[in-house]
Amino acid sequence: MNKKTIMNDPYDHNQPLTAGHTHANAPLDEAGSEFVQNTTTEFRQVAASSAKPCNHKSPCDCQSSANAPIAASHENIVENLIDEAVVRAVFPNDLKRREFIGRVGKGAAAAMIASAMPLGNMKSWAAESVKHSDIEKKDLSIGFIPITCATPIIMAEPMGFYAKHGLNAKVRRASGWAMVRDWGINKEVDAAHMLSPMPLSISLGAGSPQVPYLMPAIENVNGQAITLANKHKGVKGPKDMKGFRFCVPFEYSMHNYLLRYYLAEGGIDPDKDVQIRVVPPPEMVANLKAGNVDGYLAPDPFNQRAVYEKCGFLFKLTKEIWPGHPCCAFAISQEFASTNPNTYKALFKSIVDATYYSSDPANRKEIAKAIAPKNYLNQPVTVIEQVLTGRYLDGLGNIKNEPDRIDYDPMPWQSMAKWILSQMVRWGQIGPEVNFDAVAKKVYLEADCADMIDTLGYKQKKASYDDFSIMGKPFTPKDPLGYAKSFEITRV
């Protein structure tokens, strides 16, 4: 009860969550020493899977780098991969692309496109390494929020991925997404860890000044959860949540859209039957513990933190709503990328490289140690390990083993952008006149990321992402507006 008077209630308009507010009496980020001791014993037997070759082409400090395969005829392989990537970009529809290539042949297809597009320059940009002396700006500041979604962007500093590509990049911690957005718009940072809808909303001027933004790479997929207060352990589904007060980390977030989607599919109108407010992730556990909210859909480690603090339980992982959904991303302004092309390329390489390293389960415990310190996530290593390895306590007395609880895949599929835009339209954040195709292509750099993955010697985890379903309902990338209108609960 005392905490209710101390804590800032996000539903009390007399206690607004201002940008400079710090919540001096919120619980510390570190879990208590007793918890650490108990969980260390409990999870001591959990071992990472056996190491795999890192596939880095240049010398690195990876334990298995000496055994990494060396590709033959590297230049020819890269050129062929880029040819294929361009054909994919011109013909994103698999059936039409196959029909076209079947009629004229793959080589002729690339040649026809090359007659109208500077393929030579594109191949040079993707395949040639950047000389460190040509990097326009080596000292970089990158904004981030202290959550496990930001793992590639964070770990790239202490684990040397930025330095490997010629950069002296430092990550700068923010308390909330509005702060990260404003840093980016006001050029207080050079690049940022953003929620995957944010480059779209900023480029459209939705909720902020309009600034052209690029999203060259996704950081993580999955990795979020609906967490409820312990008093709600009897809840079975959305209908039991009527009247609840929820919080999400930002209006333009997968958290907001997935929570709304889940509730609406269960017949609960997220604007009429419940309350949803924005609360910075580091403040969510404190508000749950104080009784200010009934639950939240949030990133980790703050779902696990609720279990650690014994004030909440994991009701549902978001991968159960949309398996493989995007969450956070690497974002950069179009102005910075065009003004500093070599810096941008080196940073892009660093992020994709770090993302693939993060995706290997064998590296997760090493990464947990690297990102746990106070200047990064400010959490005990055991807390981060449970999230990254997928072996965790759920708050209901169970030990869960979900290896895909969080994963890391850099591909910014444009179909994902169209789904996000459809939800912005569905809930009235933007108008239905938005050009879904044009915005998705301009912001989500799908072809560029595919080229970068190939250039670094990795393989795409999926050949395409045109067909997916959320809670059993297929998404139609060809008609995102029709999709937004198709729901029983919609604002279109």
Where in the chain are the domains? 2-12+223-324+388-401, 74-127, 139-221+326-378+408-446+466-485
**pLDDT exceeding 90 applies to what percent of the chain?**
71
CB 189 within 8 A of CB 177: no
Stretch 51-69: mean pLDDT: 44
**pLDDT exceeding 70 applies to what percent of the chain?**
74
Q: Of 51-55, 323-327, 464-468, which one has max mean pLDDT? A: 323-327
- pLDDT of 42 > 50? The answer is no
Coil/strand/helix, residue 174? coil
Looking at 139-219, which runs of residues are DSSP E strands? Answer: 139-144, 168-173, 191-195, 213-218
Q: What angle do CA 326, 149, 479 make, to 5 degrees?
A: 10
Q: Compute CA distances 311 → 56, 157, 388, 391, whole Å.
A: 43, 34, 22, 20
- pLDDT of 94 > 70? The answer is no
Q: Do domains 2-12+223-324+388-401 and 139-221+326-378+408-446+466-485 have the same CATH topology?
A: yes
Look at residues 238, 228, 249, 223 and name the one whose alpha carbon lies nearest to residue 392.
223
Between 127-136, 192-201, 251-260, the lowest mean confidence (pLDDT) is in: 127-136
343-357: b (≥16 Cβ within 10 Å) or e? bbbbbbbbbbbbbbb
d(CA 355, CA 490): 35
d(CA 416, CA 445): 12
Q: What integer pLDDT is reported at residue 131 of this predicted model?
A: 85
- pLDDT of 286 > 60? The answer is yes
- What are residue 261's phi and psi, to 5 degrees? -60, -50
Does domain 139-221+326-378+408-446+466-485 fall under CATH 3.40.190.10? My reply is: yes
Please give the helix or strand (H or E) that residue 317 lies within, else none.
Answer: strand 312-317
Give 112-155 pLDDT, tens digit per residue: 555 555 555 554 555 667 888 899 999 999 999 999 999 999 99
Q: In 10 A of CB 297, how many CB atoms?
A: 29
Look at residues 90, 56, 126 and name the one whose alpha carbon lies nearest to residue 450.
126
Which one is the CATH code of 2-12+223-324+388-401: 3.20.20.140, 1.10.3720.10, 3.40.50.300, 3.40.190.10?
3.40.190.10
Q: Compute CA distances 126 → 245, 346, 462, whole Å.
A: 48, 11, 20
Look at residues 467, 146, 92, 441 and name the one whose alpha carbon lies nearest to residue 283.
146
CB 190 within 8 A of CB 336: yes
Distance of CA 352 to the CA centre of its chain: 13
Query: Which pLDDT band, with edges at 50, 70 and 90, does 394 fall under?
Result: very high
**Omega within 30 of 0 (cis) for the link into 477:** no
CA dihedral 183, 440, 410, 82 (to 10 degrees): -120
d(CA 431, CA 139): 40
Rg (CA), the chain: 22
Helices and strands, number each (H, E), in the chain: 21, 16
Q: What integer pLDDT is reported at residue 141 of this predicted model?
A: 98
CB 396 within 8 A of CB 232: no
CB 441 within 8 A of CB 418: no
Tell me the whole-structure pTM to 2 decimals: 0.78
